[in-house]
């Protein structure tokens, strides 16, 4: 069976960058990679209500810089910055290093694949019909300006004895076009019948990769009129046109 590669991993180095940006020797690499996983797992668990879209980690000597992309930054920062200070202290105790946390707001959460997947999973947990949850997520994304979206749910859908996969799609989602800005999100819904997986692909248009790091958007090509229709119109105009004859001089 043909399987889908993660669209983010396929586009790293073309139009997307790594989520972890640091260098290490062979001895430290495995421990730092595990530490990154633990940081992400802890932050996801602690900030599950804030809508965490992405976590980027940068390292330099004994410092760790964490870039959080969240839909509700106020819930992370807290009153007078108390929330972010507590979070920073917790991360420093975990890593035994100096930690800097930057909060970035996701301005359009309806078009963020990870947040859309989590919202659909949450709706399924609240006993909303899975088809209705998928359709609502698709409608919101397209209304927010997405070029295309595809949603797939798998598991014991509706409490069925045999697990299956169902999905809906709308618009254009070109998975093989590397210049297409496609986001991928995955979430799981814990139901009484077991886990239900939710996968979301969202296309936000096309991006031109450049050397200096800037990624300008590509405008959609304008639709041309059908050539056949133009030829027909030309023929009709030619029927009514009669050239004037010049009078000969006697």
The enclosing domain of 121 has a CATH number of: 3.30.1140.32
Three-class DSSP labels, the chain: CCCCCCHHHHHECCCECCCEECCCCHHHHHHHHHHHHHHHHHHHHHCCCCCEEEEEEEEECCEEEEEEEECCHHHHHCHHHHHHHHHHHHHHHHHCCEEEEEEEECCCHHHCHHHHHHHHHHHHHCCCCHHHHHHHHHHHHHHCCCCEEEEEEEECHHHCCCCEEEEEEEECCCCCCCCEEEEEEEEEEEECCEEEEEEEEEEEEEECCCCCCCCCEECCCCCCCCHHHHHHHHHHHHHHCCCCCCCCCC
**Position 224 in a domain:** no
Q: What is the pLDDT of residue 61?
A: 84
**Position 240 in a domain:** no
- The number of distinct structural domains making up the chain is 2
Q: Which two tokens stand for residue 101?
A: 């946390």
Q: Is residue 19 domain-shared with residue 88, that is, in the same domain?
A: yes
Q: What is the pLDDT along the chain (250 residues), one digit of tens a residue?
A: 467 899 999 999 999 999 999 999 999 999 999 999 999 999 999 999 899 999 999 999 889 999 999 999 999 998 888 999 999 999 999 999 999 999 999 999 999 999 999 999 999 999 999 999 999 999 999 999 999 999 999 999 999 999 999 999 999 999 999 999 999 999 999 999 999 999 999 999 998 866 555 455 555 545 445 555 555 555 555 555 555 555 555 5
Structural domain containing residue 207:
109-218
Q: What is the pLDDT of residue 80?
A: 86
Q: Is residue 62 domain-shared with residue 142, that is, in the same domain?
A: no
Q: Is residue 37 domain-shared with residue 88, that is, in the same domain?
A: yes
**Position 230 in a domain:** no
Q: Is residue 157 domain-shared with residue 208, that is, in the same domain?
A: yes
Q: Which two tokens stand for residue 141?
A: 């994304």
* Residues ≥6 apart with Cβ < 8 Å to 223: none
Q: What is the pLDDT of residue 1?
A: 46
């Amino acid at each position: 069976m043909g399987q889908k590669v993660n669209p983010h991993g396929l586009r790293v180095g073309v139009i997307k960058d790594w989520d972890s940006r640091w260098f290490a020797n062979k001895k430290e690499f495995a421990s730092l990679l595990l530490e990154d996983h633990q940081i992400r797992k802890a932050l996801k668990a602690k900030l599950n209500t804030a809508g965490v879209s992405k976590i980027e980690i940068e390292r330099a000597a004994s410092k760790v810089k964490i870039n959080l992309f969240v839909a509700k930054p106020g819930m992370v920062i807290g009153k007078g910055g108390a929330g972010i200070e507590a979070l920073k202290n917790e991360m420093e105790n975990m890593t035994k290093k100096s930690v800097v946390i930057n909060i970035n707001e996701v301005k359009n959460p309806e078009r963020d694949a990870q947040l859309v997947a989590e919202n659909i999973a949450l709706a399924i947990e609240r006993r909303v019909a899975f088809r209705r949850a998928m359709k609502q997520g698709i409608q919101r994304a397209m209304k927010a300006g997405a070029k295309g979206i595809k949603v797939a749910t798998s598991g014991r859908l509706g409490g069925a004895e045999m697990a299956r996969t169902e999905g809906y799609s709308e618009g254009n989602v070109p998975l093989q076009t590397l210049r297409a800005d496609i986001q991928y999100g995955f979430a799981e819904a814990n139901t009484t019948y077991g886990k239900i997986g939710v996968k979301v692909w969202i296309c936000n248009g096309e991006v031109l990769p450049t050397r200096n790091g800037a990624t300008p958007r590509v405008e959609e090509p304008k639709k041309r009129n059908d050539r056949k229709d133009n030829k027909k119109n030309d023929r009709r105009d030619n029927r009514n046109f009669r050239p004037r004859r010049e009078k000969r001089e006697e």
